[in-house]
Structure 1
Amino acid sequence: MTGISGAATILAVCAVWIVVLQGTAFAVGHRIRRYNVVDVIWGLGFVGIGVVALVLGGGDLTRRTVLAVVVAVWGLRLSWHMHVKTRGHGEDPRYVDYLGQDPTVGTVIGKVFATQGGSQLWVGLPIVVSAVCGATTGPGWILLVVGVAAALVGFSFEAIGDAQLREYKADPDRGPIMDRGLWGWTRHPNYFGDACLWWGLWLIAASGGLPAVLTVLSPVAMTYFIVYATGARRLEAAMAGRPGYADYCARTSYFLPRPPRRSP
């Protein structure tokens, strides 16, 4: 499939995939009364989008394959990590605060599952549109290589940051604040990694030229939400009262990694 009509068809198939995935997650979450299962399927949604774009797209095969592989490696790791992280635990306090103590079915579907499903389609738009673009040529190869590098940096920050956090939580002599490894350079290495990865994926998609270049608002929206809306900012508010956190903030970058400042 190529052209605008091809992209529309691929997007429609991706929408069906997302509806089925989100509907299944809602059914499971409603049965166990724990809606943070939606975090487990965040990565899986993009894995499906990458596969659909690879199979149905008529654009450059190399670019489609690169996008599908990068998204699959990232999405499967993230979903497994979230499954292990949430397994055997109760509802995430963020969802209790967001939904209230006794939310209606309509509230849960609208505020959690439908919202996340729409976000997956919007953020995955570069993958969809790139699938119908022509071959990568000339300067486009530079964008593809830089995009792959950025995506690898982002994946590494997420995976290493999560591993370091697990080690910290397993240490009986840990302090009140995680400031080891990457967490000493940025207070949110996983969110920084996520932003890097999606800008990298957009660069890979943009290597095919128009109209994929025009999907730049997808990584812009993703970055805004993980930095200012639902990600780092909300976590900061939850951590604000923890002993030592103010000093940690004073010496550690909020988002972009840099060497820690010397404590006052």
Structure 2
Amino acid sequence: MSRVASLVRVLIAYVLAFSLLAAWMGWGPRTGMLWVDGLIADLLATLVVFAASRRYGNSSFYDPYWSVLPPALAIAWWIRSDTPVDDTRAWIVLLVIVVWAIRLTGNWIHTFPNLSHEDWRYPMLREQAGRFEFVVDLMAIHVIPTLQVFAGMLPVYVVLTRGGRELGWLDVVALVVGLAAVALEFASDLQMHRFAAAKEPGQVMDRGLWAWSRHPNYFGEFSFWVALALFGVAAAPGEWWWMFAGALLMLAMFQGASIPMMEQRSLERRPAYQEVVDRVPRFVPRPPRNRTR
């Protein structure tokens, strides 16, 4: 299947998924709690994408969901909210989310060859699950990431449904952190793409931002979710104690699953990567240790 034909099929699945999300938020039964309405709509859209993943035997159908859901959910919450909020803060939060979503979705489109390609982690997880592969595909690859993103979006829900707090210095901090996070992700992915296009067999990436962190893209992603939490604290300081829960879930996923899997694969395919592990910080960018001689 060609790249264009593959992208068209993904687009159709997402049009159906987000049409269902919009219909549920607009005309579906009300629970009396707007955040719960959003969660139900989010899960219904996820099931549509899951159905497409099963139809084409490719769980990478879900990959762009991570980046296209947040702006759609934020807009739906803002439209449905009946509480007067600070429009300036709301617009700033939406700006950060949209810039992040365009960057991340654009990167996915750039790296997506066609539906013959699937993220290497997905078949590995399904194979390890054996007869429970359907459950693992549904929950581990689709539903759990949806819940993680939803948790990360809850501070945005606060911004869009709480009134009374004027724009302040913390909003400026959150804006700077959010845009810097997007810039860091963009730069690190661009450097990796250029390296991958020119590298020799077995060569490892240890230049640019990747000389200061083995996973600068993940650090940028985590920083984005921290920025959303900061916006939530700015809107409702009294609820600061739970605002960072979503960002911490992201950190746990990166540190406990994504990074270990990526590093193990790199070590298996490129033994020279061990020297990078010994020298370059794992996550937070900082100067590397000197090369051993």
Structure 1 length-normalised TM: 0.87
Question: Displacement of 1:8 after TM fit?
Answer: 6.3
Q: Does 1:66 align with 2:92?
A: yes
State the SS of the aligned residue for 2:161. coil
**Which digits, 9 at most, give the CA deviation of each residue in 1:117-146, with x for residues without a partner?**
222221211111221222433xx6111111
Q: Does 1:177 align with 2:204?
A: yes
CA change 1:7–1:31 in 2 (3 A) is: closer
Residue equivalent to 1:163: 190
Distance of 1:19 and 1:113 partners within structure 2: 9
Distance of 2:49 and 2:105 partners within structure 1: 13
Alignment of 1:170-249 (within 5 A): 170-173=197-200, 176-210=203-237, 212-213=239-240, 214-226=242-254, 228-241=255-268, 242-249=270-277
Distance of 2:47 and 2:236 partners within structure 1: 35
Matched residues, number: 256
Structure 2 length-normalised TM: 0.79
Counterpart amino acid of residue 284 in structure 2 = L
Q: Which of 240, 259, 262 lines up with 2:287 in the alignment?
A: 259
Alignment check: 8 A CA contact 2:127 2:133 kept: no
Question: Displacement of 1:54 after TM fit?
Answer: 2.8
Alignment check: 8 A CA contact 2:158 2:236 kept: no
> What's the C-alpha RMSD, in Å, of the aligned pairs?
2.3
Q: Does 1:23 align with 2:23?
A: no
CA change 1:7–1:188 in 2 (3 A) is: farther
Distance of 1:165 and 1:7 partners within structure 2: 45
Q: Does 1:55 align with 2:84?
A: no
CA change 1:20–1:253 in 2 (3 A) is: same
**Which digits, 9 at most, give the CA deviation of each residue in 1:81-113, with x for residues without a partner?**
223323324222211221217664343212221
CA change 1:104–1:41 in 2 (3 A) is: same
Q: In terms of mean alpha carbon deviation, does 158-167 or 72-81 score higher?
A: 72-81
Alignment check: 8 A CA contact 1:60 1:134 kept: yes
State the SS of the aligned residue for 2:286. coil
Q: Does 1:86 align with 2:117?
A: no
Alignment check: 8 A CA contact 2:90 2:159 kept: yes
Residue equivalent to 1:3: none
